[in-house]
Amino acid sequence: MVDDQRFMRQALDLACQAARVGEVPVGAVLVQDGRVLAAAANQPIATHDPSAHAEIIALREAGQLLANYRLTGTTLYVTLEPCMMCAGAIIHARVERLLFAAADPKTGAAGSVCNLFSSAAANHRVRVDGGLLASESAELLRSFFRLRR
């Protein structure tokens, strides 16, 4: 879908911005009815906050904008498969759809390490799709970590 590509590219731009300031390059864009509600890049290092992942920041901003923690009817575009913390927040926010780019074989909670989204204990079902612009996102991450080593 054209919109999926456009919003994921926006998330990739945010991931690039994060990399430029030394943050792990992850970007997230939350959309409702074709409108961007919130967009964020990883910020745990700059904010000294382990929860300042791109997904969490975008969910917080959208919650404030809508004056509601329930973000029904939204799609979250993320450049990397969410971790357990982010997956839990996505479920509790009642996000309708998650679209991520690259899988995360070390901490991914949408199927790589575990799948919180398919857990019978989850109070909400999120439609999850992965792989859109995966190679671009994966290369950005590889390049970032190659420079760090």
Catalytic center residues: 55
- Phi, psi angles (nearest 5°) of residue 105: -70, -10
**Percent of the chain that is helix, strand, coil (3-state, to 5):** 40, 20, 35
How would you list the strands of the sheet with 35-41, edge to edge? 35-41, 27-32, 74-80, 97-102, 127-130
Question: Treating both helix axes as pointing N-terminal to C-terminal, what angle do 2-20 and 54-66 enclose, rounded to 10 degrees?
Answer: 120
Spatial separation of the C-alpha atoms in residues 121 and 104, rounded to whole Å: 23
